[in-house]
Amino acid sequence: MSVVPNGGNGKITVPDLLQRKAADPNSKTQKITCLTAYDYPTARLLDEAGVDVILVGDSLGMVVLGHESTLSVTVDEMLHHTRAVRRGTRRALLVADMPYGSYHTDTAESLRNAVRFVKEAGAEAVKVEGGERRLELIARLTEAEIPVMGHVGLTPQSVNALGGYRVQGKTPDAAEQLIRDARAVEASGAFAVVLEAVPRELAAQITRELRIPTIGIGAGPDCDGQILVVHDILGLTFSQPPKFARQYANVAEIISNAVREYCEDVRNSGFPSDAESYHAPQATKVRKTVFIAS
């Protein structure tokens, strides 16, 4: 019996991504494409354009909700946005970020929160930040049939502990720790690991060593896949995007121009036109009503 990949419908699954790495351990072909999304229309557009993995990132807090960091994002906010992305995603693997505080207390509480992402929002995997210190947690989640994506290097939920958003793994000791973190994520059962803001050479070494795919963001071109925040590639953020985020479109400018034109048309009575208006049928022309003031 021959096995049809993805059941023949092109749906991306966790085993597919592991299989891609197994088939291409040096990551020369079949790179994994990942982007974030936070709402239905964006998810549909990404999915239909062929992105492999859609992450509902807790970057939601910064790029959509206007917070200074990701720390205040709640489980309920993430569930709300994951549900919307779920409705727009058919082919891509849908991963939900577990926000700060949702997996930092005890394992039972973390497991309950992770289960909510699967049961209530339709996520197919969750992402947690941290390396060695997440060993037990990732093992517990995978044991409960929840695929986990790890995230090491610059972990934005540790911004206060790290003292800012900085490139990680630059000293020999820090590089050693990062390698240990990535190994721990793999050993605990994660199916992939995000490497954020780490030197290209270090990311390449980790990619060669791991059997699970590495997904880079500011980690150079040698990772098995790449992820970016969708607002960065579309030019929809208000702050200076990081050096690694390539802007592919200027959607902010397109929106501003469209809105200015609309306002001008309304002010000049150029909108709506007669063709954009409804008309009463001839037979039922609106009767003149006379109101008598009492």
Restricting to residues 50-89, name those near ligand KIV by CB under 6 A. 55, 57-59
Q: Does 190 bind ligand KIV (CB under 6 A)?
A: no
Residue 149 token pair: 């994506």
**Catalytic residue of the set 68, 124, 196, 261:** 196
For ligand KIV, the closer of residues 179 and 194 by Cβ is 194
- Measured from each CB, the residue nearest to ligand KIV is 57
Tell me if 61 sits within 8 A of 106, measured CB to CB: no
Rounded to a whole number of angstroms, the minimum distance from the CB of residue 197 to ligand KIV is 10
Q: Does 217 bind ligand KIV (CB under 6 A)?
A: yes
The CA distance from 119 to 131, in Å, is 26
Task: Compose the 23-42 pattern: x for residues touching ligand KIV by CB under 6 A, - for all others.
Answer: -------------x------
Query: What contacts 228, CB < 8 A, 6 or more positions away?
Result: 35, 36, 217, 244, 245, 246
Q: Does 229 bind ligand KIV (CB under 6 A)?
A: yes
Residue 147 token pair: 């695929």
Query: What contacts 144, CB < 8 A, 6 or more positions away?
Result: 111, 114, 115
132 is a catalytic site residue: no
Task: Supply the Cα-derived Rg of the chain in whole angstroms.
Answer: 24
For ligand KIV, the closer of residues 55 and 184 by Cβ is 55
Prior bond of 272 cis (ω within 30°) = yes
For ligand KIV, the closer of residues 41 and 270 by Cβ is 41
For ligand KIV, the closer of residues 73 and 146 by Cβ is 73
**How many Cα atoms are found within 13 Å in the side-chain-facing hemisphere of 143?**
11
Chain contacts with ligand KIV (rule: CB under 6 A):
36, 55, 57-59, 97, 194, 196, 217, 227, 229
Please list the active-site residues.
196
